[in-house]
Amino acid sequence: MILDDNPDLRLLAEPRAGLPDITHDTIAHAVTALRNGHGPFAVDTERAMGLRYSNRAYLIQIKRAGAGIFLIDPIGIEDQLGDLATIMDDEWILHAADQDLPCLRELGLEPARVFDTEVAGLVLGYDHVSLQSMVAEEFGIALAKEYSNADWSQRPLGPELRAYAALDVELLIELKESLTIRLRDAGRYDWFVQECEEVRCRPLPAPHPQPWRKAVKYAKFPDQRSLAMLKELWQVRDIVARERDLAPGKVLPNKILATLAARKPRSRADVQNSSLFRSRGRKRDATVWWDAIHAAWNLPQNELPARKFSYSKDPFPPIQRWEKLRPEAAERWTTIRTAVLEHADRLGIRQEVLLKPRIQKQLAWDGWTATQEIPDLLESYGARPWQIEQVCQALG
């Protein structure tokens, strides 16, 4: 805990104005109070990742000057959040906004502008950019943060969980004000604005075309039939997890899923009596898993999945192959990587903040015939204007 590392910090165990109640049936009151407040909205969410099937928000925390903190339980009142979306028309302050915006969008809540305090820390070159670390750095305050892995889908939420959730927004407005001064003093406020806009507009990543292959690493699969069993088990597990509103790994962990498929059971008894199913809960679903395996046994040979599958989000091959495939790209990669690392060091920021390694590699792979082409290439790859300017300086 941060307080143990620095005993000079002052512990903040709950919001200074007291512990707020959960807003559910009184959403109209929260909307009125927030409308009558002023300035930006400090916003955060709590989810139940790793516990529940969906990535939905089980709690929304909002603070606004003149209104206070509201802990909004959105479950069951999703169709009543329209007024909340309408009044939240000022800037939103979030920490690691990319984690919260997707589940807020599912509820129809969309910011017009974002101030991401984590992004501010990265642009300023902070070594540690967790909310807890940045609050300690800026204000000498340690936030009581012991419930990050709690089950936020449970009801009721006890006072400890409510305090934890409220503290996520308690100091965001003051943190924004302090970081704004630092960003302007450093001449990096425009950089920061560009980064926040990229976060706000960033689309969701494309889903993996064959997600079941993520479990292949947990076992040795002797043939295509065993891979078909893994695929069937994965798909059935997803159906069961959705029906029970449980994270798939809570229904059956990937390692057990893969090990079972690799063993190629021949009967329901093989599954039922497997050492993988010692617990009563797992034995209960043995028939479900056998049905999936049986379906894979019955697949014709031409419908079995391929042994090998190559999937990459990048438009270039693995860098280990560049020397053979395109040696001039390998040379460019060395030049670009060195220039970006050295310039990032001069700026006091992480090299991935200056330019993502994926973009560095794409520039090296594609190459250029004249240095005047580099800005347009970087823009086409998604680099922001400030990054283009700085990287072009670094490359000379």
| Domain containing residue 38: CATH number | 3.30.420.10
- pLDDT tens for 205-224 read 999 999 999 999 999 999 99
What's the mean pLDDT in 263-279? 93
Q: Does residue 314 lie in a domain region? A: no
**pTM given for the model:** 0.93
Q: What integer pLDDT is reported at residue 241 of this predicted model?
A: 98
Q: Does residue 308 lie in a domain region? A: no
For position 293, which CATH number holds?
A: 1.10.150.80
Q: Does residue 312 lie in a domain region? A: no
Amino acid at 325: L
Instruction: Look at residues 134, 166, 201 and tell me which one is the last residue of a structural domain.
Output: 201
Q: Does residue 310 lie in a domain region? A: no
Lowest-confidence segment of 20-24, 122-126, 344-348 by average pLDDT:
20-24
If asked whether residues 253 and 348 sit together in one domain, one would say no
- pLDDT tens for 113-156 read 999 999 999 999 999 999 999 999 999 999 987 787 899 999 99
Element containing residue 72 per DSSP (H, E): strand 68-72
- pLDDT tens for 352-365 read 999 999 999 999 99
In the chain, % of residues over pLDDT 70: 99
If asked whether residues 152 and 218 sit together in one domain, one would say no
If asked whether residues 24 and 149 sit together in one domain, one would say yes
Domain count across the chain: 3
If asked whether residues 234 and 372 sit together in one domain, one would say no
Q: Does residue 361 lie in a domain region? A: yes
If asked whether residues 147 and 261 sit together in one domain, one would say no
For residue 51, the tally of other CB atoms under 10 A from its CB is 18
If asked whether residues 342 and 257 sit together in one domain, one would say no
If asked whether residues 245 and 360 sit together in one domain, one would say no
Instruction: Look at residues 268, 303, 338 and tell me which one is the last residue of a structural domain.
Output: 303
Residue 249 CA: distances (Å) to CA of 28, 166, 234, 245, 252: 38, 29, 10, 12, 5
If asked whether residues 105 and 196 sit together in one domain, one would say yes
If asked whether residues 20 and 128 sit together in one domain, one would say yes
If asked whether residues 106 and 231 sit together in one domain, one would say no
* pLDDT of 281 strictly over 90: no
23 alpha carbon, distance to own chain's centre: 26
User: What's the rounded Cα separation, in Å, for the pair 206 and 370?
Assistant: 33
Q: Does residue 309 lie in a domain region? A: no
Q: Is the peptide bond before 375 cis (omega within 30 degrees of 0)?
A: no
- pLDDT tens for 48-79 read 999 999 999 999 999 999 999 999 999 999 99
Nearest to 246 by CA among 51, 9, 387: 51
Name the phi and psi angles at 294, rounded to 5.
-60, -40
Range of the domain at 70: 10-201
Element containing residue 379 per DSSP (H, E): helix 374-381
What is the sign, positive or negative, of the torsion defined by CA atoms of 360, 362, 365, 368? negative
Residue 62 CA: distances (Å) to CA of 84, 161, 218: 11, 15, 42
What's the mean pLDDT in 171-192? 99
If asked whether residues 21 and 107 sit together in one domain, one would say yes
Report the 3 state secondary structure along 128-164.
CCCHHHHHHHHHCEEECCCCCCCCCCCCCCCHHHHHH
Q: Does residue 178 lie in a domain region? A: yes
If asked whether residues 85 and 231 sit together in one domain, one would say no
On average, the pLDDT of the chain sits at: 96
Q: What integer pLDDT is reported at residue 282 of this predicted model?
A: 85
Instruction: Look at residues 151, 167, 201 and tell me which one is the last residue of a structural domain.
Output: 201
- pLDDT tens for 92-119 read 999 999 999 999 999 999 999 999 999 9
Q: What integer pLDDT is reported at residue 1 of this predicted model?
A: 47
Q: What integer pLDDT is reported at residue 280 of this predicted model?
A: 84
Q: What integer pLDDT is reported at residue 2 of this predicted model?
A: 57
* pLDDT of 3 strictly over 60: no
Q: Does residue 88 lie in a domain region? A: yes
